[in-house]
Structure 1
Amino acid sequence: MRQITDTILMVRPVGFRMNEQTAVNNYFQKKIEGKDINELAAKEFDSFVEKLRGVGVKVIVVDDLKEDDTPDSIFPNNWVSFHNDGQIALYPMFAENRRKERRLEYFARLEDEGFKIKDIVDYTSAEEDDIFLEGTGSLILDRVNEKAYCAISPRADEELVIEFCEDFEYTPVIFNAYQTVEGKRLPIYHTNVLMCVAEEFAVICLDTIDDAKERKNVLKHLKMDNKEIIAITEEQMHEFAGNMLQVKGADKKYLVMSARAHRSLTKDQVQKIEKHCEILSSEISTIETCGGGSARCMMAEVFLPKA
């Protein structure tokens, strides 16, 4: 079992904008007026892909369909996850206009690239009951230690988390996480904005876990698996410092994040990360501002076996 991969699936934007349907509970989103948002996002996307490929990460880029009107398709990790036993999971999405992002023809592209697909585990019927679980946005998978960390929210249903864990043989580590919005503590929409689990360390905003017992339990699991804990503040989380992903390049490992997240880190935090791997950051401010997601959300890790 591997925790990190050298192959990433990414979806190039064609109709990117601020999605009004997700803004109801994604408090990271903001509108940008008077600019060609999709053109700016596409430039940021291409530059990001170039950086990843430049260090030897294999990036499979697929194109979205403009007529589908899927403003968030740039974030594929919310609807699909790829597993090393050849299974693919399809997830139920909170926003109706995100459900069209699930395009199974992308899987044919993966097969063309030499990957083997054994089975598709489909949770999408839960949408009929208004039950959601948004992929590796909601689930932070420690694949080696078979644990799934999840902050419960309108986009992450506890029972469905448990069902996923039973199907894929993970231990659920479930908690509640909050951010302050206009003086109120409100649930954070996705776990992957507050934590990232890498091979030897975890970046996490512990300040979001208000319940002391729940916080202690999350720490217990990370420490049990010998993860060095790199704590970030809630302010840094709002700069997307929790939204990171460790990947494998040609001859090194990298922690991938946005330039904004990178700028928010202290010297000490950077040193702690660089003990384990290099940092690779890219400027994606349009995508972050309008989409309310960052570098990690743009990358769907491919762990499928080769045919």
Structure 2
Amino acid sequence: MSTFRSIQAPAAVVMVRPHRFTPNPETTADNAFQSDAAKDQARAIADTAHDEVTQAVDRLQAAGVRVHLFEDTGERDTPDSVFLNNWFSTHSGGHVAIYPMYPRNRRRERRSDIIEMLKAEYRVRDVIDYSGLENDGLFLEGTGAMVLDHMARVAYTARSNRADPVLLERFSTHFNFEPIVFDTADTAGRPIYHTNVLMCVATEFALLGTRTLTDPRRAQEVIERLQESGHEVIDLSQEQIANFAGNAIELSGRDGRILALSQRACDSLTARQKARIERSARLLPLAVPTLEMAGGSVRCMIAGIHLSPRDTTAQPGEDA
């Protein structure tokens, strides 16, 4: 297994620990991965979700990943706040993007304290805020809507009401990405709401639910583009996609790269798929079954930091 770190696999992340987690009633219409929760179980569900995040953070830190953990006590009615990767992303060169969200109650998840932490701890040159475009009906839900290849500068995007093509072009111009858009469908024929449930791009491999792409020719073009950029494509079945096997993220740990994914996702992989992944990154399964009730999994819970840390040893007046 390679220990080489890459810009694709950040060594630091941001996470949010929810205190009043519940599946979001505003996202059930287009999120087929979501489950209903009984109202009389709300407190137990919230407590279990809180514990799942705590345990996930502990395991990531034990692996050598730096985790900036923020609390969401729930006063703002933000049931999906744990899935923070949808409202902001960070990029090499000191760039940060803030995104417009499709569900109205998810717009309350954006937090100035997270952006201020990034400015204080890392070198941030600019923050491009697209959130005002919500008033124009334009949405692009961050690294849920886009799966970014930071090395080859490609933004893979499944067409949906969470990813407006005009805004995708604008993002791609600002951040120097090539947009590659495709149509998808689940087993019931519905478009898949976020790209990151069917696709994960790591340093040396990519997980892809090729059969979720409705146009076989376009699917082949996506495969070839991944291969051109040096990725071994590992095909995921529809059943594995339903078990969140595509919702993974590669990170840099103390002893090399790791692939963080849910226990459910890991259990759905075949022995051959696991062996292919572990030639490049160690599998780190995290148990988050309660959080997965909301239709997202480990990738959605983690916002990677692709920024350079500030030199905290610099003296006042010196350039940090």
Common fold: TM-score over 0.5 = yes
* Equivalent in 86, 96, 103 of residue 88 of structure 1: 96
Give matches, 1:156-235, under 5 Å. 156-181=163-188, 185-235=189-239
Task: Find the counterpart in structure 2 of residue 4 from structure 1.
Answer: 9
* Equivalent in 136, 159, 181 of residue 152 of structure 1: 159
1:65 CA displacement: 4.0
Task: Find the counterpart in structure 1 of residue 127 from structure 2.
Answer: 120
CA distance in 1, matches of 2:34, 2:65: 29
CA distance in 2, matches of 1:118, 1:111: 9
> Where does the alignment leave 5 or more consecutive residues of structure 1 unmatched?
none
Q: Does 1:297 align with 2:305?
A: no
1:23 CA displacement: 1.0
CA distance in 2, matches of 1:87, 1:268: 38
Show structure 1 runs of 4+ deviating over 4 A.
Answer: none
Task: Find the counterpart in structure 1 of residue 318 from structure 2.
Answer: none
Task: Find the counterpart in structure 1 of residue 3 from structure 2.
Answer: none
Give matches, 1:40-55, under 5 Å. 40-55=48-63
1:107 CA displacement: 1.9
CA distance in 1, matches of 2:21, 2:250: 25
Task: Find the counterpart in structure 1 of residue 309 from structure 2.
Answer: 306
Identity %: 40
Task: Find the counterpart in structure 2 of residue 271 from structure 1.
Answer: 275
1:111 CA displacement: 3.5
CA distance in 1, matches of 2:203, 2:135: 37
CA distance in 2, matches of 1:73, 1:281: 21
Match of 1:66, SS state, is coil
- Tell me the matched-pair count: 302
* Equivalent in 64, 67, 79 of residue 59 of structure 1: 67
Task: Find the counterpart in structure 2 of residue 246 from structure 1.
Answer: 250
1:231 CA displacement: 0.4
> Where does the alignment leave 5 or more consecutive residues of structure 2 unmatched?
1-5, 311-320
Measured against aligned partners, the alpha-carbon deviations of 1:157-178 in whole angstroms (never above 9, x if no partner) come to 1111111111101111111111
CA distance in 2, matches of 1:28, 1:126: 27
Whichever residue aligns with residue 60 of structure 2, its letter is L
Whichever residue aligns with residue 13 of structure 2, its letter is I
Q: Does 1:255 align with 2:259?
A: yes
Match of 2:266, SS state, is helix
Task: Find the counterpart in structure 2 of residue 31 from structure 1.
Answer: 36
Task: Find the counterpart in structure 1 of residue 314 from structure 2.
Answer: none
1:109 CA displacement: 2.2
Measured against aligned partners, the alpha-carbon deviations of 1:51-77 in whole angstroms (never above 9, x if no partner) come to 000110000001124210100000010
CA distance in 2, matches of 1:230, 1:221: 14
Task: Find the counterpart in structure 2 of residue 20 from structure 1.
Answer: 25
Measured against aligned partners, the alpha-carbon deviations of 1:145-204 in whole angstroms (never above 9, x if no partner) come to 1111000101011111111111101111111111123xxx11100000000000000000
1:126 CA displacement: 1.7
Per the normalisation by structure 1, the TM-score is: 0.96
Match of 2:196, SS state, is helix
Whichever residue aligns with residue 255 of structure 1, its letter is L
> RMSD of aligned C-alpha atoms?
1.1
Q: Does 1:78 align with 2:86?
A: yes
